[in-house]
Chains A and B, each alone.
Chain A
Amino acid sequence: MDRLQIDAEHVIARYLAGQLSRAEEDGFEDYAASHPEIFREVESTLRMKEGLAVLRDRGELQALLREPDWRPSLAAAAAAVFVVLGLGLWTWRHAAAPIAPVLAGLPGFVGRDSGSLPVFASYTLLRSRGESSDIQIRLPAQRAAIQIRILPSVFVMGGRYRASLHRVEADADYVVVREIDGLEAGADRFVTLYLDSAQLTQGRYEISLAQSDSSVPSESDRFSIRAE
């Protein structure tokens, strides 16, 4: 047995659950005897099991497993779409200016319609080698949009992305501020979104991007931001 097999076949979790065959058990134990560092992984798995067990003991697990009720949000989004369509039609007739799709109705993010709010600043986020550090974002004195362009680590032609904005609390807790799904990358492969400065306060945030059909974003698509 090797590390690749251990990871690929979830050997540690299955070992802890007593789901391995005798031969697999022997293989894992032989590996562990000569690679004691594998117990780091075992310990991490046990911590996850314990964390989940505590949530179950507290009676919090079922609520976490339930799908969030999106109906109010969908209704708000549908209403916003009508408003946006109306505004778009009006603007098109009166100004003949192209209106990009708007992601209104989702506080924390505003649409691509820079006419609704002035764009105060633009930031481009892409992962580079080396230590990552917080990206400083200056908040405007007046309410404005802040353009964020993110280069996804995985580009899929015609793929959709989900962006999330989390506020990092003093106790290092991550609180979801807002999420937008269904974003598309532009021709330059960047996904563009806008933050509404009125929804931001000074402090640390994390913006992450994931493919719409994936459960969690990869580490390369998480960016720490400090709003000042």
Chain B
Amino acid sequence: MQLTGLGMEEAPRGESLSHEILRDMPGLQLQLARVTRDRELAADILQDAVVTALQKLRAGEISDRAQLDGYVYRVALNHFRNHLRKDKSHVSDRDAPAALADTAARELPESLGQAQWARVAKQLLNEIRPARDRELLVRFYLNEESKEQICEDFGLSDLHFNRVLFRARSRFKELLRRRGLGRSDFWAIAFILFIP
């Protein structure tokens, strides 16, 4: 992992900080890997975002750790969304996203984090009743169908839709926390390590 743009004497500290920052965004890393279908490319994109952020920190354009993490996240998220747009522009039928996902799955071995989140997602789906609400969740979060379309298909009110999603989101976070998967989240790390 190269930290280009930093002086040799700064690189070790930069790398340490880089590790810390990246440790807090595994969801973004893996979703980025999914849309680029290349884990190396995803890692490089994040690394570039970290290097740029560190340079801004050194130049005084970023003043604290929260801003630093936020900047990295924002840049990487933009890359994620750009790749997603590219993906979608090639999609011409409803089955294509699943086909793309299958290709990605073959290329990328499942990581420990993915397995844990899948387990939590499975528990969440097992708890949600009726089946229609489970489908609602999957269509909104995974298939990225619009709220309007889903409500129309199921004949649901806004209120019901919002209630299902709100509860599912809260429960997912709670399950992550219970399994100790939510603690390494953002800003939990002390405010440390500035590049002079």
Give the B-binding residues of A (Cβ under 8 A): 7-8, 10, 13-19, 29, 32-33, 36-37, 39-40, 42-58, 60-61, 64-67, 162, 164, 172-174, 176, 214-216, 218-219
Contacts and interface: CB of A to CB of B under 8 A. Distances in A.
Interface residues of B, number: 76
Nearest to B135: A65
A9 to B, nearest CB: 9
Contacts of B118: 50-52, 54-55, 58
B28 A46 contact: yes
Given A8-B162, A13-B141, A36-B66, A54 B186 contact: no
Provide the main secondary structure of the chain B interface.
helix
B134 A65 contact: yes
Top 3 nearest A-B pairs (CB, nearest first) are A36-B70, A51-B121, A46-B27
A32 B104 CA distance: 30
Contact of B73 (A36, A60, A172): A36
A36 B169 CA distance: 19
B167 A215 contact: yes
A207 B87 CA distance: 44
A36 B69 CA distance: 8
Given A49-B141, A50-B30, A51-B121, A215 B24 contact: no
Contacts, number: 172
Contacts of A56: 98, 101, 142
B7 interface: no
A45 B147 CA distance: 16
Contacts of B104: 57
Given A13-B140, A46-B27, A64-B125, A40 B187 contact: yes
B178 interface: yes
B74 interface: yes
Contact of B27 (A37, A47, A61, A176): A47
Interface string B123-140: 111111111011101101
A57 B123 CA distance: 17
Contacts of B69: 36, 39
Nearest to A172: B179
B34 interface: yes
B114 A216 contact: no
Interface string B151-185: 00000000000111111111111101011111001
Contacts of A61: 138
Contacts of B114: 50-51, 54
A15 B31 CA distance: 14
Contacts of A172: 178-180
Report which residue of B74, B168, B180 has the largest number of chain A beta carbons within 10 angstroms of its beta carbon.
B74
Interface stretch (B8-16, B37-45, B77-85): B77-85
